[in-house]
A and B are shown apart, each in its own frame.
Chain A
Amino acid sequence: MRPAGYQRLPHAARLAVERRVVVRCLFLLAGILALVALTAPHAAAQGCAMCYQNAAASGEQGRAALRHGILILLLPALSLFFGIFALIYRRNNPVDCS
């Protein structure tokens, strides 16, 4: 995946090439994973059979309510999770406050 004359490139250009190679590999890996995922059987309720059974027995309206309830809890939680990481990432390099 490296271009011809790679060895003669300056260091910065070689780093850029390396980075492109890594990104391509990651995309390739993600594609393979997506293909594998498409063949995965439907898995359900890891770890809490009782939750699953209760939910499954709750009727169509109950299941819809649960779906909404789950997303309403999940989305803010994940947003906050990523938000806090974005904040610390922005402050990656602490300054001397003395």
Chain B
Amino acid sequence: MSAAPASAGPPPGFLRRYVFSTDHKVVGLQYFFLSLAAVTFGIILSLLMRFHLVWPNARLPFVGGGIMTPEQYLALVTMHGTIMVFFVLSTAPQSAFGNYFLPIQIGAPDMAFPTLNMLSFWLTVAAFLCAIAAFLVPGGAPISGWTAYPPLSGLGEVTGPGEGLGQTLWIVSVLIFCFASLLGSLNFIATTIDMRAPGLTLMRMPLTVWAWFVTAILTLLAFSVLLAGGLLLLLDRSAGTSFFLPAGLVVNGEVQSHNGGSPLLWQHLFWFFGHPEVYIAILPGMGVVSHILANFSRKPVFGYRAMALALCAIGFLGFLVWGHHMFVSGMNPYSGLAFSVLTMSIGVPSAIKTFNWLGTLWGGRIQLRSPMLFAIGFVSFFVTGGLSGIFLAQPALDTTLHATYYVVGHFHIVMGVAAIFGIFAATYYWFPKMFGRAMDESLGKLHFWLTFVGVYCIFMPMHFVGIEGGIRRYADSTGAHYLAALQPLHSFMTIAAFLTAAAQLIFFYNFFHSLKRGEPAAANPWNATTLEWITSSPPPPDNFGGSFPSVYRGPYEYSVPGEREDFLPQDVAPAGRGTTGSREIPQRAYVTGMAILLGGIWMFFMALVSAYFVRKGFSSDWRPLEVPRVLWVGTFILLASSATLALSRHDFLARRDDGFRHWWGVTGVLGIFFLAAEAIAWRQLAAADASLSGNPSASFFYVFAAAHALHLLGGIAAVLLIAIRPPKRLTRRTATDVVSLYWHGMNALWVLLFVLLLAGARS
């Protein structure tokens, strides 16, 4: 009944140690360097855009005809947004720093599922390469923006260069990224729930851990919906379905064959992801900044409990903001009222955080080191961006401003720059821990001031340009008289952008120079209190050298009266340090992980079900689909498989091995029978001329059935695997628990889908 112990030393061989490593620290660094490459690429794209806005007729050597076309400009806009949102803002704060420091801060040897962690990283690399490849295919990168609104993104090459293979690659990239993020998020959640050190209660968790945990929940819920939306969009493009594409579209003189779809359905699904995405980008930064402000003020975080609850509240309300997005007249006025109040109340936890950051600084012994400067910069940008957002919260103003540079300035400051300042703060703060050397302080401060001033010079004028009516996404503003008047401001912003980008070279020099030649760093150079600082720099492979800590105090015990030093590490017990010899992945973490995975899968299917209702409601071409009778048989077989699985588990608990094996095998066979019944149903429908692209009800049937069948196939594979050779890390009890949970979850899901299909057949 024993689980595998935590790794004792680094794995042998270069590939296993540095490339396909399962060590969370290596994976974290891999994510970090991937983000570094992505942000460099994203900045270059933005500089090209800024250059073109000021000198639209300049000839650029690497652009096809020398002068950038409007389509090429839009491709830059799309890819800049995509790369920054997905591969920088969603990746660096959560996947890079979270991967590296979450296990150490909770006293664990690794993530709960190290192999999954590695897989998640390499899938992200594949997604990044897929996105970049869009530049290299005929037609180039897509022009539909990072929001990929249909019909533009759904019709294919006919709508313009980049909308052919480039757009397909974009969608595939996003799908892979979603999948990778889902795997990553379930790892974060299970690790935080089940891998914490003894004594590390919720109210002793560092705020960084709180932030990564809440962000992981948002990722799980939001990315599963984007995955479903992306899948439907891909089907519209490649299989001729009409989920998002309306009838009667004429593009370049060609009548499109799609019918009855709703572009609004995409907005519905996309913004369910899009709104929480803002918090996915900013929440880890909030955690890091709270952590750093306390450290360099030598004070406990002001209102720790309120800060933790505010993080949870922001995550929770993030979904309700979306919910209110598309509610319109005709609804029950009281539910509208509730949504209004809840939507506006998201300002309350944000204000609590800002107030508590200032409270933490107030009266502290402030040390203006590089991480602290960037943390204060984060607060400045968060407040500035938040204040400009208040105007956009007014529908009358938003209608006027939402297509202008005002919005570009607002979201760049609050979501982009603030989050990136959080990343910089984290880099300067944890560099000594990650690499065992210190970054140069003078260069760090120079980098901060140039970037801080430079960023304000770029994005503050954008607000004025927007108020004056400067429209975003226009490749050339010189054509219209009133827009031409704004050119001097554009020139100023472009020069500021180039100078700010040049200032980043200081960071790159400092970073890579310090890697090799920085001053050697002590284990705890900042005199900090959390668990990452009690281990060596860089930490050993199992994080604590076999001597795992227990936790006795809160995370921010600075300047405690009566103590000899002004900080008390979390592992200091009243009578010396408490450690335990080894720490293993608890078996229940696997069950937790499966429960979280099931949650993500259900969310994915709920997105499809939601799409079903919206598409049906908007449709004038919906024809009820007669559900084949063989599916009734299949459904009963599937329900019977749940019963045999329960019998198998019963025999297992009663230590009747023969009975266990017998019923376990029967369950797998019944699963195969169900798939066979589903295949027969497909054939019958195909014979009755109900094709995937024919009618929306048939389209949904095929999507539901195929997606469920694929998931069930995974369940059958797991059943067979357990029967033949159970995984080494899991006890047999855990393995049966995990598979049973998955199997029953998938069966319950099928019952729901089947009832939905039956109801659809009658209306």
Q: Roughly how many angstroms separate A78 CA and B342 CA in the complex, as a whole number?
A: 14
Which of B8-16, B454-462, B581-589, B694-702 participates in binding chain A? B581-589
Q: Roughly how many angstroms separate A54 CA and B327 CA in the complex, as a whole number?
A: 11
- Contact status B618-A48, CB under 8 Å: no
- Contact status A73-B617, CB under 8 Å: no
* Minimum Cβ distance to chain A for residue B397 (Å): 9
Q: Which B residues are CB-close (under 8 A) to A52?
A: 325-326, 328, 395
Q: Roughly how many angstroms separate A42 CA and B396 CA in the complex, as a whole number?
A: 13
The winner among B315, B328, B343 for most chain A CB atoms within 10 A is B328
Contacts A60-B330, A84-B599; is A51 near B340 (CB within 8 Å)? Answer: no
Q: Which B residues are CB-close (under 8 A) to A45?
A: 324-326, 328, 395, 398
- Contact status A93-B201, CB under 8 Å: yes
Q: Which A residues are CB-close (under 8 A) to B275?
A: 47
Q: Which residue of B lies closest to A91 (CB)?
A: B193
> A68 on the interface (CB 8 Å rule)?
yes
25 cross-chain CB contacts under 8 A? A38-B337, A40-B341, A43-B343, A44-B327, A46-B343, A46-B344, A46-B395, A47-B321, A47-B392, A47-B393, A48-B402, A51-B264, A51-B267, A52-B328, A65-B618, A66-B328, A66-B614, A67-B330, A68-B613, A77-B603, A80-B599, A84-B599, A87-B592, A88-B213, A94-B201
- Contact status B603-A55, CB under 8 Å: no
> B437 on the interface (CB 8 Å rule)?
no
Contacts A46-B392, A98-B580; is A73 near B272 (CB within 8 Å)? Answer: yes
Contacts A69-B613, A98-B548; is A83 near B599 (CB within 8 Å)? Answer: yes
Q: Roughly how many angstroms separate A50 CA and B264 CA in the complex, as a whole number?
A: 10
Q: Roughly how many angstroms separate A53 CA and B275 CA in the complex, as a whole number?
A: 18
Q: Which residue of B lies closest to A68 (CB)?
A: B613
Q: Give per-residue flags for A8-43: 1 if the beta carbon is below 8 A from chain B beta carbons, else 0.
A: 000000000000000000000000010001101011
- Contact status B315-A81, CB under 8 Å: yes
Q: Roughly how many angstroms separate A8 CA and B287 CA in the complex, as a whole number?
A: 43
* Residue from the list B268, B548, B595 in contact with A66, Cβ < 8 A: B268
- Contact status B331-A67, CB under 8 Å: yes
Q: A56-B328, A60-B330, A77-B606 are known contacts; what are 18 more A-B pairs with Cβ within 8 Å?
A: A40-B340, A44-B324, A44-B327, A44-B328, A44-B395, A47-B275, A48-B325, A49-B395, A62-B617, A65-B616, A66-B617, A69-B611, A70-B268, A74-B320, A77-B272, A81-B217, A88-B193, A94-B196
Q: Give per-residue flags for B253-270: 1 if the beta carbon is below 8 A from chain A beta carbons, else 0.
A: 000000000111101100
- Contact status B272-A88, CB under 8 Å: no
Q: Which B residues are CB-close (under 8 A) to A95?
A: 198
- Contact status B323-A70, CB under 8 Å: yes
Contacts A43-B344, A46-B321, A70-B326; is A89 near B202 (CB within 8 Å)? Answer: yes
Q: Which residue of A lies closest to B397 (CB)?
A: A49
**Residues of B that sit less than 8 Å from A by CB:** 189, 192-194, 196-202, 213, 217, 220-221, 225, 262-265, 267-268, 271-272, 275, 312, 315-316, 319-321, 323-331, 333, 336-338, 340-341, 343-344, 392-393, 395, 398-399, 402, 548, 550, 580-584, 586, 592, 595-596, 599, 602-603, 606-607, 609-611, 613-618
User: 8 closest A-B pairs (Cβ-Cβ)?
Assistant: A65-B617, A69-B614, A43-B340, A94-B196, A72-B610, A96-B198, A69-B610, A97-B586
Q: Roughly how many angstroms separate A55 CA and B331 CA in the complex, as a whole number?
A: 12
Q: Which residue of B lies closest to A97 (CB)?
A: B586
* Minimum Cβ distance to chain B for residue A83 (Å): 7
* Minimum Cβ distance to chain A for residue B9 (Å): 19
- Contact status B325-A72, CB under 8 Å: no
Q: Which residue of A lies closest to B197 (CB)?
A: A94
Q: State the majority secondary structure of interface residues on B.
A: helix
Number of interface residues of A (CB under 8 A): 53
Q: Roughly how many angstroms separate A89 CA and B606 CA in the complex, as a whole number?
A: 26
* Residue from the list B189, B200, B312, B340 in contact with A94, Cβ < 8 A: B200
Q: Which A residues are CB-close (under 8 A) to B550?
A: 96
Q: Which residue of B lies closest to A34 (CB)?
A: B341
Contacts A66-B328, A91-B193, A94-B196; is A84 near B319 (CB within 8 Å)? Answer: no
Q: Which B residues are CB-close (under 8 A) to A66?
A: 264, 268, 326-328, 614, 617
- Contact status B319-A77, CB under 8 Å: yes
Q: Which B residues are CB-close (under 8 A) to A49?
A: 395, 398-399, 402
- Contact status B581-A74, CB under 8 Å: no
Q: Roughly how many angstroms separate A92 CA and B614 CA in the complex, as a whole number?
A: 40
Q: Roughly how many angstroms separate A89 CA and B272 CA in the complex, as a whole number?
A: 26
Q: Which residue of B lies closest to A85 (CB)?
A: B312
Contacts A60-B330, A96-B580, A98-B582; is A73 near B610 (CB within 8 Å)? Answer: yes
Q: Which A residues are CB-close (under 8 A) to B197?
A: 94
Q: Roughly how many angstroms separate A57 CA and B124 CA in the complex, as a whole number?
A: 39
* Residue from the list B319, B583, B592, B603 in contact with A97, Cβ < 8 A: B583
Contacts A52-B395, A68-B613; is A76 near B602 (CB within 8 Å)? Answer: yes
Q: Roughly how many angstroms separate A94 CA and B551 CA in the complex, as a whole number?
A: 10
* Residue from the list A51, A53, A64 in contact with B617, Cβ < 8 A: A64
Contacts A49-B395, A62-B617, A98-B580; is A84 near B586 (CB within 8 Å)? Answer: no
- Contact status A63-B328, CB under 8 Å: yes
- Contact status A92-B617, CB under 8 Å: no
- Contact status A54-B315, CB under 8 Å: no
* Minimum Cβ distance to chain A for residue B740 (Å): 18
Q: Roughly how many angstroms separate A48 CA and B149 CA in the complex, as a whole number?
A: 13
* Minimum Cβ distance to chain A for residue B552 (Å): 13
Q: Which B residues are CB-close (under 8 A) to A73?
A: 225, 268, 272, 606-607, 610
Q: Roughly how many angstroms separate A73 CA and B603 CA in the complex, as a whole number?
A: 8
- Contact status B609-A72, CB under 8 Å: yes
- Contact status A50-B402, CB under 8 Å: yes
* Residue from the list B200, B315, B326, B337 in contact with A42, Cβ < 8 A: B337
Q: Which B residues are CB-close (under 8 A) to A74?
A: 319-320, 323
- Contact status A51-B326, CB under 8 Å: yes
Q: Roughly how many angstroms separate A44 CA and B618 CA in the complex, as a whole number?
A: 21
Q: Which A residues are CB-close (under 8 A) to B602?
A: 76, 80
- Contact status A80-B221, CB under 8 Å: yes
Q: Which residue of A lies closest to B600 (CB)?
A: A80
Q: Which residue of B lies closest to A47 (CB)?
A: B392
Q: Which A residues are CB-close (under 8 A) to B393?
A: 43, 46-47
Contacts A47-B392, A55-B326, A96-B198; is A61 near B618 (CB within 8 Å)? Answer: yes
Q: Which B residues are CB-close (under 8 A) to A47?
A: 275, 321, 325, 392-393, 398
The winner among B194, B330, B393, B595 for most chain A CB atoms within 10 A is B330
* Residue from the list A61, A81, A92, A96 in contact with B201, Cβ < 8 A: A92
* Minimum Cβ distance to chain A for residue B350 (Å): 14
- Contact status A76-B395, CB under 8 Å: no
Q: Which B residues are CB-close (under 8 A) to A63?
A: 328-331
The winner among A61, A63, A70 for most chain B CB atoms within 10 A is A70
The winner among B193, B217, B326, B341 for most chain A CB atoms within 10 A is B326
